[in-house]
Structure 1
Amino acid sequence: MRVVAAMSGGVDSAVAAARMLDAGHDVVGVHLALSQSAATLRESARGCCTIEDAGDARRVADMLGIPFYVWDMAARFRRDVMEDFVAEYQAGRTPNPCLRCNEKIKFAALLDKAVALGFDAVATGHYAQVVERPDGSRELHRAVDAAKDQSYVLGVLTAEQLERSFFPLGDTTKPQIRAEARERGFYVASKPDSHDICFIADGDTKAWLTARLGEQPGEIVDAASGEVVGSHAGAYAFTVGQRRGLGLPRHTRDGRPRYVVDVDAGRNTVMVGTADLLGVNSLRGDHARWCGPAPEGVVAVGAQVRAHGDEVPATAWADGDDVHVRLTGRVRGVAPGQSVVLYDGTRVVGSATIAETALER
């Protein structure tokens, strides 16, 4: 099978490419250039797509003896991920750019180009497992290493995309991957993992958004009393569940901390309240994506609303492009724009972007 191995320059994608080659596939390494002004070196464990990363990926490809190319997808990444990220925050929502990148770039633009060039599939260094059923169909499952499991950010894959995807690391823990990389002599064996939002290298999302949207002064309002309790420079910089950075007096009248409970983008208002106002047990999601057949009727599932959050027992049902999820307990700090990923045991059923939340009695 002819396979494109997406090589970021990190240890995971390096071992993934090596394993695909060991399995007997015809492998070509591809590094995605996603930045239109790539830095020469990494500043920290944040960020990606530096010239250094491309060089690290090329060195691994040379050691493996496989062809290596750099594909420029910076314009597509800016449009489908970065501009979407800004627009979502401006609308008072909290997006997950990793899911959007997987949906729009790695398993759409990359996979589409690979197939157009005659390749059969794409392999990445994500920690997840693909299980093939007796009828030949494929399922997406959680990784063996629960601490590194990335099935949540892959929940946007369709059954058709899953048919052409490989995740060779899903049955292995991260320490084992690093040990394997050292045994193979890879220079990247001890390279730090990248984390957080790759295109915000310093991790300051608020400053990054402000540089693009400018200051937009508005009010911070107490959700219970309607009293104006503070001001802000832009509602887009806040997310439901946030406690830090509100700029409120340290001591409130009742002595209880305040959290963001709603962001009203239309009024440019941030609503704050006590922790008891954060809990929700009902979600409606749109932009449904199914890793297999859509569920029929009401089904019992596990629901996860954050990449590293806990799975909560729930029931769910599909309604066209919408998904309705009823959680068995309250979950705090769930914001529109986040994704809910549904599981049946370790199997990923599908995902949706959260449009509305509620507390139903």
Structure 2
Amino acid sequence: MSNAATNVPPRILVAMSGGVDSSVAALRLQQQGHAIVGAYMKNWINEDNVIGECPWQQDIEDARAVCDRLGIEFRVVNLMREYRERIVQYLLDGYAHGQTPNPDVMCNREIKFGVFRAWARDHGFSAVATGHYARRVEVPAPSPTPGAPAGAGPAATPTCQLWEGADKNKDQSYFLALLNQEQLRDALFPIGDLPKPELRRLAREAGLPTADKKDSQGICFIGEVKMADFLRAYVPDAPGPILRATDGKELGQHRGLHFYTIGQRRGIGVPSNTNHEAYVVVGKRAADRALLVAFDHPDAPGLFQSEVRVHSLSWIGTPLTTPGALEARVRYRDPRVPIEFIPEGGGTARVRFRDPQRGLATGQILALYAGEQLLGGGIYV
């Protein structure tokens, strides 16, 4: 982003969620001498009365209180239409087709660093900062070729890399796996080098109203709403049989495949056997709306996979076009695991795991790494 006024220092727009992480992100930028403005993205207000807590009003007041404490301007940016079109519809379409979408990853790509970033650029801001636990590393552009005339050719642009947050218990790089280089150049992550206890300490020392506020665990900018309740409000029930995958025996009925995901154990509605062995979801068959389950053993059919395909590959830097060894995170809380990455062209690739992985579901995000550096990601076929 470039500032339209040449004599005005660049301004940074801080995405204020009303939580302590974004509050300290603003605090640190201010302490570093940056000109900042806080903004709450008003994406969802639970106007359809979905069961659950949607604390957007309290979040706005908390974000405003932090900005008042810091003595900075506060704005509310209404992105409700874009959020419903790009995130809520993506979420509902995915579940309706038997997939397991990730609204948090898409919210970062489409909203925070999509329409919110565009709004920031249009209003003269040089960058967007968030409270993500991730580190943005700027790699200097190569030096000019010796002997080349001064000013020959366009100036080389530095490359931005994205690394895991220093606090491995809080690292959120996974949720940024579908960002591209252009988006990352305009992004700042001021708390990526902090452990959470230190962040809380800084917030208390600065007297921030959110210093002891509990971390949100809800859907991105929707709130503490159970996914099943959210889906029940928007996706019609589509009952079908619950079948044992090993022999096809019917064990019961379900209300809709969209309420389940591969690897799920709780809430299936089928009791354990006499040996107290629990059932786990191992497959979903759209043709007859059958939910396939098996006992939760390592040899349960379909529960573990050694190879998957991914589509819609997105790269932060230069795309990988040749096979090679990488690491991948199959879910947010899972550790990085060794893989063989085999590009197929057209934004697709095969991924072979050194060790079989449990419960991989169509529509989930696979994040690709080289050590702590996030390279990009794709979506399970």
Q: Shared fold (TM-score greater than 0.5)? A: yes
Aligned to 1:99: 105
Instruction: Name the CA distance, whole Å, in 2 between partners of 1:57 and 1:196.
Output: 18
Cα distance in 2 for partners of 1:184, 1:70 equals: 23
Contact 1:90/1:265, CA 8 A, preserved across alignment? no
Q: What letter matches 2:317 in structure 1?
A: G
Moved more, 220-229 or 299-308: 220-229
Report if aligned partners of 1:38, 1:51 keep a CA contact under 8 Å in 2.
Answer: no
Return the alpha-carbon distance in structure 1 between the equivalents of residues 58 and 42 of structure 2.
12
Which shifted more, 5-14 or 80-89? Answer: 80-89
Aligned 8 A contact 1:7 1:14 in 2: yes
Q: Is the 8 A contact 2:329 2:337 kept in 1?
A: yes
> In the alignment, is the contact (CA less than 8 A) between 1:222 and 1:271 conserved in 2?
yes
- Tell me which residue corresponds to 2:145: none
Do the aligned residues in 1 keep the contact of 2:261 with 2:281 (CA within 8 Å)?
A: yes
Aligned in 2, Cα 1:200/1:273: closer, same or farther, shift over 3 Å? farther
Distance 1:143 1:105, change over 3 A: same
Out of 51-60 and 211-220, give the one that drifted further: 211-220
* Root mean square deviation, CA, Å: 1.8
Equivalence map 1:9-20=2 (5 Å): 9-20=18-29
Secondary structure, counterpart of 2:243 in structure 1: strand
Point out the structure with max Rg over C-alpha: 2
Unmatched 5+ stretches in structure 1: 356-361
CA shift at 1:227, angstroms? 2.0
Which SS does the other structure have where 2:14 is aligned?
strand
Q: Residues 308 and 301 (structure 1 numbering): CA distance in 2 closer, same or farther, change over 3 Å?
A: same
**Could you list the per-position Cα deviations for residues 159-199 of structure 1 after superposition, in whole angstroms to 9, with x for gaps in the alignment?**
11111100011111011011000111101100000013246
- Displacement of 1:98: 0.5
Shift of residue 103 of structure 1? 1.0
Provide the C-alpha distance between the structure 1 equivalents of 2:323 and 2:46, rounded to a whole number of angstroms. 48
Give 1:268 shift.
1.6
* Per-residue CA distance 1:107-143 (angstroms, 9 max, x = gap): 1011111112221110000000011113221100001
User: Which region of structure 1 is more displaced relative to structure 2, 281-290 or 139-148?
Assistant: 281-290
Tell me the distance in 2 between the aligned counterparts of 1:303 and 1:231. Answer: 36
Aligned partner of 2:17 in structure 1 is: 8
For 1:27, the equivalent position in structure 2 comes to 36
- Structure 2 Cα separation of the partners of residues 236 and 200 of structure 1: 19
* Aligned partner (choices 70, 89, 110) of residue 64 of structure 1: 70
Task: Decide whether aligned partners of structure 1 residues 313 and 329 sit closer, same or farther in structure 2, where only a CA change above 3 A counts.
Answer: same
The alpha-carbon distance between structure 1 residues 102 and 138, as it changes in their structure 2 partners (threshold 3 A), is same
Tell me the CA shift for residue 311 of structure 1.
1.1
Could you tell me which residue of structure 1 aligns to residue 256 of structure 2?
234
2:26 alignment partner AA: A
Partner of 1:188, secondary structure, is: coil
Q: 8 Å contact 1:123–1:168 — kept in the other structure?
A: yes
C-alpha distance in 2 between matches for 1:337 and 1:239 = 10
Identity fraction in percent: 38
Shift of 1:36: 3.6
Checking the alignment, whether the CA contact within 8 Å between 1:36 and 1:75 is kept in structure 2 is no
How do 1:244-323 and structure 2 match up within 5 A?
A: 244-251=266-273, 256-274=277-295, 275=297, 276=299, 277=301, 278-318=303-343, 319-323=345-349
- Offset of residue 8 of structure 1: 0.6
Question: For 1:1-361, what aligned pairs fall within 5 Å after superposition?
Answer: 1-37=10-46, 47-48=54-55, 50-135=56-141, 136-198=158-220, 201-251=223-273, 256-274=277-295, 275=297, 276=299, 277=301, 278-318=303-343, 319-355=345-381
Alpha-carbon contact 1:236-1:265 (below 8 Å) kept: no
Amino acid at match of 1:59: A
* Post-superposition CA distance 1:73-94 (Å, at most 9, x none): 1121122111211111111111
Write the distance in 2 (CA, Å) between the matches of 1:38 and 1:171. Answer: 37
Q: How many residues align?
A: 348
> Which sits farther off after the overlay, 214-223 or 142-151?
214-223
For normalisation by structure 1, the TM-score amounts to 0.92
Q: How far is the alpha carbon of 1:351 from its aligned partner?
A: 0.4
Unpaired segments ≥5 residues, structure 2 = 1-9, 142-157
Which residue does 1:359 correspond to in 2? none
Structure 1 residue 266: deviation in Å?
Answer: 4.0
Distance in 1 (CA, whole Å) between partners of 2:70 and 2:23 is: 9
CA–CA separation in structure 2 for the residues paired with 1:210 and 1:183: 44
Distance 1:56 1:249, change over 3 A: closer
Q: Check whether the contact 2:44–2:222 (CA below 8 A) recurs between aligned residues.
A: no
Are the equivalent residues in 2 in contact too, given 1:295–1:317 (CA < 8 A)?
no
Counterpart of 2:200, as a letter, is: R
Q: 1:251 and 1:333 mapped to 2: Cα distance?
A: 21
Confirm or deny: 8 A CA contact 2:239 2:255 kept in the other structure.
yes
Task: State the Cα distance separating 1:267 from its structure 2 match.
Answer: 2.6
Structure 2 distance, partners of 1:70, 1:19, is 21
Q: Is the 8 A contact 2:99 2:362 kept in 1?
A: yes
TM-score (norm 2): 0.87
